[in-house]
Amino acid sequence: MQQIFAVFLSFTCYALANAFFRPYCQENATCVRGCSWVLERYFNGVANQVLPDNGYRNLTVPSLAMCGRECLMDDRCFSFHYSKGEMWCELNGATASRYPMDLIEMEGMFYYGPEEPKLVKLLASGNKTGIPSLTDCRYQTHGSVSPECSKTGQHLCLKWELDHASKEGYPATPLSWYADPDSQAVLTETGVTYHDLPLTAPSPGLCCSLPMTYRDPVITPQSYDLADRAGQARGCSDLAAHPCTLAELKEAYDHGYRGCLYWGYFATPNRDARVDGCTHHKDDECYQGTIANTPRPATHKRVYCCPNRT
């Protein structure tokens, strides 16, 4: 296991950063820095690791603390690299927690970021599969953070992905956006808690790219008109999913998923389905003896969405 380091910043530097960043955090309503993170007195470091292609400024400084001070004084800086032998300091515009798969090994270099020590250890172990990334900026709305995840080929995390991350020991997070547009989530040491809107403080987003095999369907939080196929598809896309096929609903049923007697739209137009056995349905209204589906749907329903697989 690579060694974990921390650099202590003096109170004077901390006070300077507090005075420098607080107006920025209050004034920028679209994308604000993680104020509670940049004001921490510690940067946690990973030996022999760097986050390439994110540096924007190189300096020669006599100490690690001076490099950390330069980062705190620059509102573009989210993390930094430092080489003691060369007294070389590089300020980065991103963090390893935002781009966990980009962290690479480089002898003699140290990555320093605001991540909690537990996450730094997890990143340093090289086992980055299933680690959500937390956006470096905070956003006022669910809609504004989703494109930020898309920039790196990720999606806002689904509930099951957050549950998976929590079970894998992902450290605590601030209140964050995830796939459900009407809720926010907090990862804790004991699980995930969800909070309903409205919320007023800007929040980061949790982005996921976990390779998917089978996962339970999710149901869109809003309903759609029967003829609004494009809206139904967009509703599923917002959940990193697509309208389920009957085969996928059958697979879910075989894995123990039940739709709680809920009828919803799915991939076949002008029909609805229920994942709870056929009961009184038969023939073409009972798919493989398990999934009831009818050509008599209501005109306004929610949609069964199946997570995209990679």
Quote the CA–CA distance of 220 and 236 in Å, as a whole number: 7
pLDDT at residue 98, rounded to an integer: 77
Is the pLDDT score of 38 beyond 70?
no
Q: What is the pLDDT of residues 253-306, one digit of tens each?
A: 988 898 866 899 999 999 999 999 898 899 999 998 899 999 999 999 999 999
Cα separation, 132 vs 188, in Å, equals 14
The model's confidence at residue 127, banded by pLDDT at 50, 70 and 90, is low
Task: Report all structural domains of the chain as residue ranges with CATH numbers, in order of start.
Answer: 4-124 (3.50.4.10), 133-208 (3.10.100.10), 218-307 (3.10.100.10)
Helix (H/G/I), strand (E/B), else coil: 67: helix
For the purposes of burial, counting CB atoms within 10 Å of the CB of 233, is it exposed (0-12), middle (13-18) or buried (19 or more)? middle
Q: What is the pLDDT of residues 89-123, one digit of tens each?
A: 999 988 887 777 778 889 989 999 877 777 777 77
| Alpha carbons 293 and 204: distance in angstroms, whole number | 40
Q: What is the pTM of this model?
A: 0.54
Residue type for position 188: T
Distance between first and last Cα of the chain = 30
Whether residue 131 has pLDDT greater than 90 = no
